[in-house]
Amino acid sequence: MKKRTTITLILALAVVGLIGSCGGTDEGLQAEPDNMEVAENSAFILADSASESFSSCSYRFSVYMTGSYSDAPELTGNLTGIITDEMETPLLRIEMKQNALSEDSISIELSLILIAGADSAYSYSPDENLLVKGSIEEGGTDLLRPASYAVMNEYFLEDPFADEIASQPLVPEGLDTVGTVACETYLVTYSRGQKAIWSIGIEDHLPRRVERLTTDREGNDMSIVLEVYDLDISPDISDAVFTIVPPEGTEVEIYSAFLTVGTTAPLFTLSDRNGTSVSLEEMRGSIVVLDFWATWCGPCITVMPEIQSLSESYPHDQVRVYGINVWESGDPGSFMDENGFTYGLLLDGDAVAEDYMVSGIPTMYIIDREGRIAFVEVGANPEIGEMLSGTVADLLSAE
Protein backbone atom coordinates (compact mmCIF):
# COMPACT_ATOMS: atom_id res chain seq x y z
CA MET A 1 0.00 0.00 0.00
CA LYS A 2 1.41 3.37 -1.01
CA LYS A 3 1.29 6.42 1.21
CA ARG A 4 -1.53 8.87 0.54
CA THR A 5 0.62 11.97 0.63
CA THR A 6 1.57 14.74 -1.73
CA ILE A 7 5.24 14.24 -2.49
CA THR A 8 7.42 16.90 -0.91
CA LEU A 9 9.01 17.65 -4.25
CA ILE A 10 5.82 19.17 -5.52
CA LEU A 11 6.47 22.15 -3.26
CA ALA A 12 8.47 23.50 -6.13
CA LEU A 13 5.21 24.16 -7.93
CA ALA A 14 4.22 26.54 -5.16
CA VAL A 15 7.25 28.68 -5.95
CA VAL A 16 6.07 29.52 -9.44
CA GLY A 17 2.38 29.34 -8.54
CA LEU A 18 1.51 27.23 -11.57
CA ILE A 19 -0.21 24.08 -10.33
CA GLY A 20 -2.58 23.72 -7.40
CA SER A 21 -3.89 20.17 -7.93
CA CYS A 22 -1.80 17.17 -8.99
CA GLY A 23 -3.93 14.17 -8.05
CA GLY A 24 -4.23 12.05 -4.94
CA THR A 25 -6.73 14.08 -2.89
CA ASP A 26 -10.27 13.41 -1.71
CA GLU A 27 -11.72 16.54 -3.27
CA GLY A 28 -14.86 15.87 -5.28
CA LEU A 29 -15.25 12.22 -4.24
CA GLN A 30 -18.17 12.67 -1.86
CA ALA A 31 -20.79 11.82 -4.48
CA GLU A 32 -21.02 8.42 -6.14
CA PRO A 33 -20.55 8.74 -9.93
CA ASP A 34 -23.38 7.59 -12.16
CA ASN A 35 -22.90 5.00 -14.92
CA MET A 36 -22.04 7.59 -17.57
CA GLU A 37 -19.33 9.11 -15.39
CA VAL A 38 -17.88 5.66 -14.69
CA ALA A 39 -17.70 4.97 -18.42
CA GLU A 40 -16.01 8.29 -19.12
CA ASN A 41 -13.54 7.78 -16.30
CA SER A 42 -12.74 4.13 -17.01
CA ALA A 43 -9.31 5.00 -18.41
CA PHE A 44 -8.32 6.72 -15.17
CA ILE A 45 -9.88 4.01 -13.00
CA LEU A 46 -7.58 1.55 -14.77
CA ALA A 47 -4.66 3.97 -14.55
CA ASP A 48 -5.29 4.38 -10.82
CA SER A 49 -5.18 0.63 -10.25
CA ALA A 50 -2.15 0.10 -12.50
CA SER A 51 -0.15 2.91 -10.88
CA GLU A 52 -0.84 1.50 -7.41
CA SER A 53 0.31 -2.00 -8.39
CA PHE A 54 4.05 -1.33 -7.95
CA SER A 55 6.19 0.36 -5.31
CA SER A 56 9.39 0.98 -7.28
CA CYS A 57 10.23 2.07 -10.78
CA SER A 58 12.84 3.57 -13.05
CA TYR A 59 12.42 5.55 -16.22
CA ARG A 60 13.98 7.98 -18.63
CA PHE A 61 12.33 11.39 -18.81
CA SER A 62 12.04 14.58 -20.79
CA VAL A 63 10.64 17.80 -19.33
CA TYR A 64 9.95 20.86 -21.45
CA MET A 65 7.63 23.86 -21.64
CA THR A 66 5.41 25.29 -24.36
CA GLY A 67 3.84 28.67 -25.01
CA SER A 68 5.42 31.69 -23.36
CA TYR A 69 8.18 29.51 -21.86
CA SER A 70 8.91 27.46 -25.00
CA ASP A 71 12.50 28.76 -25.07
CA ALA A 72 13.27 27.23 -21.67
CA PRO A 73 15.86 24.44 -21.89
CA GLU A 74 14.66 20.86 -21.98
CA LEU A 75 15.58 18.67 -19.02
CA THR A 76 16.42 15.04 -19.73
CA GLY A 77 17.67 12.24 -17.55
CA ASN A 78 16.96 9.10 -15.56
CA LEU A 79 14.90 8.61 -12.41
CA THR A 80 14.80 5.70 -9.96
CA GLY A 81 12.39 5.67 -7.04
CA ILE A 82 10.80 3.50 -4.38
CA ILE A 83 8.19 3.94 -1.65
CA THR A 84 7.04 1.50 1.03
CA ASP A 85 4.52 1.48 3.89
CA GLU A 86 7.13 2.86 6.27
CA MET A 87 7.97 5.89 4.10
CA GLU A 88 6.23 9.25 4.15
CA THR A 89 7.91 10.26 0.88
CA PRO A 90 9.74 8.17 -1.73
CA LEU A 91 13.45 7.56 -2.04
CA LEU A 92 14.55 9.08 -5.32
CA ARG A 93 17.67 9.31 -7.46
CA ILE A 94 17.58 11.67 -10.42
CA GLU A 95 20.45 12.08 -12.88
CA MET A 96 19.87 14.79 -15.42
CA LYS A 97 21.18 17.42 -17.79
CA GLN A 98 19.71 20.13 -19.98
CA ASN A 99 18.82 19.87 -23.65
CA ALA A 100 18.67 16.84 -25.90
CA LEU A 101 18.98 13.15 -25.10
CA SER A 102 19.56 10.62 -27.88
CA GLU A 103 16.56 8.40 -28.58
CA ASP A 104 18.60 5.19 -28.75
CA SER A 105 20.43 5.45 -25.42
CA ILE A 106 19.68 6.12 -21.76
CA SER A 107 23.26 7.15 -21.02
CA ILE A 108 23.63 10.86 -20.39
CA GLU A 109 26.39 13.33 -19.76
CA LEU A 110 25.58 14.23 -16.17
CA SER A 111 25.26 17.82 -15.04
CA LEU A 112 23.40 17.17 -11.77
CA ILE A 113 22.70 14.22 -9.46
CA LEU A 114 19.82 14.66 -7.01
CA ILE A 115 19.00 12.17 -4.27
CA ALA A 116 16.22 12.01 -1.68
CA GLY A 117 17.36 9.45 0.88
CA ALA A 118 15.79 8.24 4.11
CA ASP A 119 17.16 11.06 6.28
CA SER A 120 18.92 13.50 3.95
CA ALA A 121 18.76 14.88 0.45
CA TYR A 122 21.76 15.59 -1.77
CA SER A 123 22.58 17.69 -4.80
CA TYR A 124 25.87 16.92 -6.52
CA SER A 125 27.30 18.86 -9.45
CA PRO A 126 30.18 16.96 -11.14
CA ASP A 127 31.21 20.06 -13.08
CA GLU A 128 31.61 22.15 -9.93
CA ASN A 129 32.59 19.18 -7.75
CA LEU A 130 30.11 20.54 -5.20
CA LEU A 131 27.92 18.43 -2.89
CA VAL A 132 25.07 20.10 -1.02
CA LYS A 133 23.45 18.08 1.78
CA GLY A 134 20.26 18.86 3.67
CA SER A 135 18.35 17.07 6.41
CA ILE A 136 14.86 15.93 5.37
CA GLU A 137 13.51 17.39 8.63
CA GLU A 138 14.95 20.78 7.69
CA GLY A 139 13.51 20.84 4.20
CA GLY A 140 16.39 19.13 2.43
CA THR A 141 14.11 17.86 -0.32
CA ASP A 142 14.12 21.44 -1.63
CA LEU A 143 17.45 20.46 -3.16
CA LEU A 144 15.48 18.39 -5.67
CA ARG A 145 13.55 21.42 -6.95
CA PRO A 146 15.43 21.49 -10.28
CA ALA A 147 13.91 18.09 -11.08
CA SER A 148 10.46 18.53 -9.54
CA TYR A 149 8.69 18.30 -12.89
CA ALA A 150 10.56 15.09 -13.72
CA VAL A 151 8.78 13.15 -10.97
CA MET A 152 5.66 11.32 -12.15
CA ASN A 153 4.04 11.65 -8.72
CA GLU A 154 1.25 9.24 -9.62
CA TYR A 155 3.75 6.36 -9.54
CA PHE A 156 4.30 6.99 -5.82
CA LEU A 157 0.82 7.78 -4.45
CA GLU A 158 -2.12 5.86 -3.09
CA ASP A 159 -5.28 6.64 -5.12
CA PRO A 160 -3.09 8.55 -7.59
CA PHE A 161 -5.89 9.46 -10.02
CA ALA A 162 -8.64 10.29 -7.53
CA ASP A 163 -8.91 13.86 -8.81
CA GLU A 164 -9.08 12.76 -12.45
CA ILE A 165 -11.74 10.15 -11.70
CA ALA A 166 -13.81 12.80 -9.91
CA SER A 167 -13.40 15.43 -12.62
CA GLN A 168 -15.95 16.25 -15.29
CA PRO A 169 -15.86 16.59 -18.16
CA LEU A 170 -13.12 14.35 -19.51
CA VAL A 171 -12.52 14.97 -23.19
CA PRO A 172 -10.91 12.24 -25.34
CA GLU A 173 -8.14 13.78 -27.44
CA GLY A 174 -7.37 10.76 -29.62
CA LEU A 175 -4.32 8.51 -29.82
CA ASP A 176 -0.70 9.39 -29.15
CA THR A 177 2.64 7.62 -29.03
CA VAL A 178 5.14 8.41 -26.27
CA GLY A 179 8.44 6.82 -27.17
CA THR A 180 7.29 3.43 -28.43
CA VAL A 181 4.14 3.21 -26.26
CA ALA A 182 0.72 3.70 -27.84
CA CYS A 183 -1.49 5.85 -25.63
CA GLU A 184 -5.01 7.20 -25.33
CA THR A 185 -5.08 10.91 -24.55
CA TYR A 186 -7.58 12.84 -22.41
CA LEU A 187 -8.10 16.48 -21.49
CA VAL A 188 -9.01 16.80 -17.80
CA THR A 189 -10.59 19.87 -16.22
CA TYR A 190 -10.24 19.81 -12.44
CA SER A 191 -12.70 21.17 -9.89
CA ARG A 192 -10.73 24.41 -9.41
CA GLY A 193 -10.35 25.05 -13.13
CA GLN A 194 -6.86 23.68 -13.74
CA LYS A 195 -6.43 21.58 -16.87
CA ALA A 196 -4.09 18.79 -17.93
CA ILE A 197 -3.71 16.49 -20.92
CA TRP A 198 -2.86 12.89 -19.98
CA SER A 199 -1.52 10.17 -22.27
CA ILE A 200 -2.26 6.73 -20.80
CA GLY A 201 -0.68 3.51 -22.15
CA ILE A 202 -3.29 1.45 -24.00
CA GLU A 203 -1.87 -1.92 -22.94
CA ASP A 204 -0.59 -1.31 -19.38
CA HIS A 205 -2.80 1.71 -18.44
CA LEU A 206 0.17 3.61 -16.98
CA PRO A 207 0.64 7.34 -17.59
CA ARG A 208 3.44 8.18 -20.03
CA ARG A 209 2.85 11.86 -20.61
CA VAL A 210 1.20 14.74 -18.77
CA GLU A 211 0.91 18.30 -20.03
CA ARG A 212 -0.28 20.73 -17.37
CA LEU A 213 -1.95 23.74 -18.95
CA THR A 214 -1.58 27.04 -17.14
CA THR A 215 -0.59 30.68 -17.57
CA ASP A 216 2.49 32.64 -16.58
CA ARG A 217 2.46 35.61 -14.22
CA GLU A 218 1.37 37.92 -17.05
CA GLY A 219 -1.54 35.66 -18.01
CA ASN A 220 0.04 34.18 -21.16
CA ASP A 221 -0.73 30.56 -22.05
CA MET A 222 1.96 28.00 -21.28
CA SER A 223 2.29 24.38 -20.27
CA ILE A 224 4.76 22.06 -18.52
CA VAL A 225 5.20 18.65 -20.13
CA LEU A 226 6.63 15.46 -18.62
CA GLU A 227 7.25 12.48 -20.90
CA VAL A 228 8.29 9.07 -19.56
CA TYR A 229 10.25 6.49 -21.59
CA ASP A 230 11.62 2.99 -20.92
CA LEU A 231 9.49 2.59 -17.79
CA ASP A 232 10.51 -0.39 -15.63
CA ILE A 233 8.13 -1.18 -12.73
CA SER A 234 10.26 -3.97 -11.27
CA PRO A 235 13.82 -2.64 -11.28
CA ASP A 236 16.62 -4.20 -9.25
CA ILE A 237 17.44 -1.39 -6.80
CA SER A 238 20.19 -1.52 -4.19
CA ASP A 239 20.47 0.75 -1.15
CA ALA A 240 23.55 2.31 -2.71
CA VAL A 241 21.37 3.96 -5.35
CA PHE A 242 20.11 6.47 -2.78
CA THR A 243 23.51 7.43 -1.41
CA ILE A 244 26.37 9.32 -2.98
CA VAL A 245 30.13 9.11 -2.47
CA PRO A 246 31.67 12.15 -4.14
CA PRO A 247 35.27 12.20 -5.35
CA GLU A 248 38.04 13.24 -2.98
CA GLY A 249 38.33 17.00 -2.74
CA THR A 250 34.62 17.65 -3.25
CA GLU A 251 33.38 20.83 -1.59
CA VAL A 252 30.51 20.09 0.83
CA GLU A 253 27.83 22.56 1.90
CA ILE A 254 24.99 22.08 4.42
CA TYR A 255 21.53 23.28 3.43
CA SER A 256 18.43 24.17 5.45
CA ALA A 257 15.22 25.33 3.79
CA PHE A 258 14.03 27.48 6.68
CA LEU A 259 14.83 28.80 10.11
CA THR A 260 14.47 25.97 12.59
CA VAL A 261 12.27 25.99 15.67
CA GLY A 262 14.03 27.53 18.67
CA THR A 263 16.24 29.92 16.70
CA THR A 264 15.96 33.66 17.13
CA ALA A 265 13.73 35.31 14.54
CA PRO A 266 15.59 37.96 12.50
CA LEU A 267 14.43 41.49 13.27
CA PHE A 268 12.83 43.53 10.51
CA THR A 269 10.95 46.75 9.88
CA LEU A 270 8.51 46.98 6.97
CA SER A 271 5.79 49.37 5.86
CA ASP A 272 2.14 48.42 5.91
CA ARG A 273 -0.34 49.50 3.23
CA ASN A 274 -0.74 52.90 4.92
CA GLY A 275 2.98 53.57 4.97
CA THR A 276 3.26 52.97 8.72
CA SER A 277 6.43 51.20 9.87
CA VAL A 278 5.90 47.86 11.57
CA SER A 279 8.81 46.49 13.60
CA LEU A 280 9.18 42.94 14.86
CA GLU A 281 11.18 44.21 17.82
CA GLU A 282 8.27 46.39 18.90
CA MET A 283 5.98 43.33 18.84
CA ARG A 284 8.03 41.52 21.50
CA GLY A 285 5.61 40.13 24.08
CA SER A 286 3.01 39.19 21.45
CA ILE A 287 2.76 36.05 19.36
CA VAL A 288 3.50 36.92 15.75
CA VAL A 289 2.26 34.98 12.72
CA LEU A 290 3.97 35.68 9.39
CA ASP A 291 2.79 34.45 5.98
CA PHE A 292 5.13 35.08 3.03
CA TRP A 293 2.95 35.29 -0.10
CA ALA A 294 2.28 36.85 -3.52
CA THR A 295 -0.87 37.56 -5.51
CA TRP A 296 0.22 35.33 -8.41
CA CYS A 297 0.83 32.30 -6.17
CA GLY A 298 -2.13 29.89 -6.30
CA PRO A 299 -1.14 27.84 -3.23
CA CYS A 300 -0.70 31.08 -1.27
CA ILE A 301 -4.28 32.04 -2.02
CA THR A 302 -5.62 28.68 -0.85
CA VAL A 303 -4.23 29.18 2.67
CA MET A 304 -5.26 32.84 3.05
CA PRO A 305 -8.76 32.04 4.42
CA GLU A 306 -7.06 30.08 7.21
CA ILE A 307 -4.79 33.05 7.95
CA GLN A 308 -7.87 35.30 8.03
CA SER A 309 -9.69 32.94 10.39
CA LEU A 310 -6.72 32.89 12.75
CA SER A 311 -6.52 36.68 12.78
CA GLU A 312 -10.19 36.90 13.74
CA SER A 313 -9.81 34.43 16.61
CA TYR A 314 -7.52 36.44 18.89
CA PRO A 315 -7.11 40.06 20.02
CA HIS A 316 -4.45 41.92 18.05
CA ASP A 317 -2.36 42.62 21.15
CA GLN A 318 -2.12 38.86 21.84
CA VAL A 319 -1.62 37.49 18.33
CA ARG A 320 -0.42 39.70 15.49
CA VAL A 321 -1.01 38.28 12.03
CA TYR A 322 0.75 39.68 8.94
CA GLY A 323 1.05 38.67 5.34
CA ILE A 324 4.49 39.67 4.08
CA ASN A 325 4.21 40.30 0.36
CA VAL A 326 7.21 39.10 -1.69
CA TRP A 327 8.32 38.70 -5.31
CA GLU A 328 5.30 40.73 -6.35
CA SER A 329 4.15 41.98 -9.76
CA GLY A 330 0.55 42.86 -8.83
CA ASP A 331 -1.32 44.99 -6.28
CA PRO A 332 -1.44 43.07 -2.97
CA GLY A 333 -3.57 45.67 -1.17
CA SER A 334 -6.31 45.60 -3.80
CA PHE A 335 -6.14 41.81 -3.94
CA MET A 336 -6.73 41.50 -0.19
CA ASP A 337 -9.57 44.05 -0.29
CA GLU A 338 -11.31 42.31 -3.19
CA ASN A 339 -11.13 38.96 -1.42
CA GLY A 340 -12.13 40.16 2.04
CA PHE A 341 -8.80 39.59 3.81
CA THR A 342 -8.38 42.11 6.62
CA TYR A 343 -5.30 40.94 8.50
CA GLY A 344 -2.08 42.95 8.39
CA LEU A 345 -0.23 43.44 5.11
CA LEU A 346 3.47 44.26 4.98
CA LEU A 347 4.98 45.33 1.66
CA ASP A 348 8.29 44.86 -0.18
CA GLY A 349 9.38 41.91 1.91
CA ASP A 350 11.99 40.40 -0.44
CA ALA A 351 14.93 41.18 1.83
CA VAL A 352 13.08 39.84 4.86
CA ALA A 353 12.24 36.67 2.93
CA GLU A 354 15.96 36.19 2.34
CA ASP A 355 16.69 36.60 6.05
CA TYR A 356 13.99 34.03 6.84
CA MET A 357 15.40 31.61 4.23
CA VAL A 358 12.18 31.64 2.19
CA SER A 359 12.72 29.64 -0.98
CA GLY A 360 9.10 28.81 -1.76
CA ILE A 361 5.75 30.38 -0.95
CA PRO A 362 3.60 30.24 0.99
CA THR A 363 6.00 29.99 3.93
CA MET A 364 4.52 30.53 7.38
CA TYR A 365 6.27 31.24 10.66
CA ILE A 366 4.99 31.67 14.20
CA ILE A 367 7.25 33.65 16.55
CA ASP A 368 6.79 33.34 20.32
CA ARG A 369 6.71 36.17 22.85
CA GLU A 370 10.49 35.97 23.34
CA GLY A 371 11.18 36.35 19.64
CA ARG A 372 12.01 32.70 18.89
CA ILE A 373 10.75 30.62 15.99
CA ALA A 374 7.98 28.36 17.35
CA PHE A 375 6.58 26.97 14.08
CA VAL A 376 7.40 26.86 10.39
CA GLU A 377 5.57 25.36 7.43
CA VAL A 378 6.34 25.60 3.72
CA GLY A 379 3.59 25.02 1.18
CA ALA A 380 -0.19 24.86 1.17
CA ASN A 381 -0.70 22.07 3.70
CA PRO A 382 -4.44 21.17 3.79
CA GLU A 383 -4.23 21.07 7.59
CA ILE A 384 -2.49 24.42 7.97
CA GLY A 385 -5.42 26.01 9.82
CA GLU A 386 -5.32 23.40 12.56
CA MET A 387 -1.53 23.54 12.69
CA LEU A 388 -1.45 27.31 13.13
CA SER A 389 -4.27 27.49 15.66
CA GLY A 390 -2.87 24.57 17.63
CA THR A 391 0.55 26.19 17.90
CA VAL A 392 -0.90 29.55 18.93
CA ALA A 393 -3.12 27.89 21.53
CA ASP A 394 -0.14 26.03 22.99
CA LEU A 395 1.89 29.24 23.18
CA LEU A 396 -0.95 31.10 24.89
CA SER A 397 -1.51 28.32 27.41
CA ALA A 398 2.20 28.35 28.29
CA GLU A 399 1.90 31.75 30.03
Alpha-carbon distances, residue 248 vs 41, 127, 131, 245 (angstroms): 54, 14, 11, 9
Alpha-carbon distances, residue 79 vs 60, 149, 156 (angstroms): 6, 12, 13
* CA-wise closest residue to 2 among 111, 121, 83, 107: 83
Give yes or no: 22 in active site: no
The gap between the terminal CA atoms of the chain, to the nearest Å, is 44
- Active-site residue identified among 22, 57, 183, 297: 297
> What burial letters (b/e) apply to 82-120, b meaning 16+ CB within 10 Å?
bbeeeeebbbbbbbbbeeebeeeeeeeeebbbbbbbeeb
The rounded distance, in Å, linking the Cα atoms of 186 and 40 is: 10
Torsion sign, CA atoms 82, 48, 204, 78:
negative
Peptide bond into 235 cis (omega under 30): no
Give yes or no: 297 in active site: yes
Catalytic residues, which ones? 297, 300
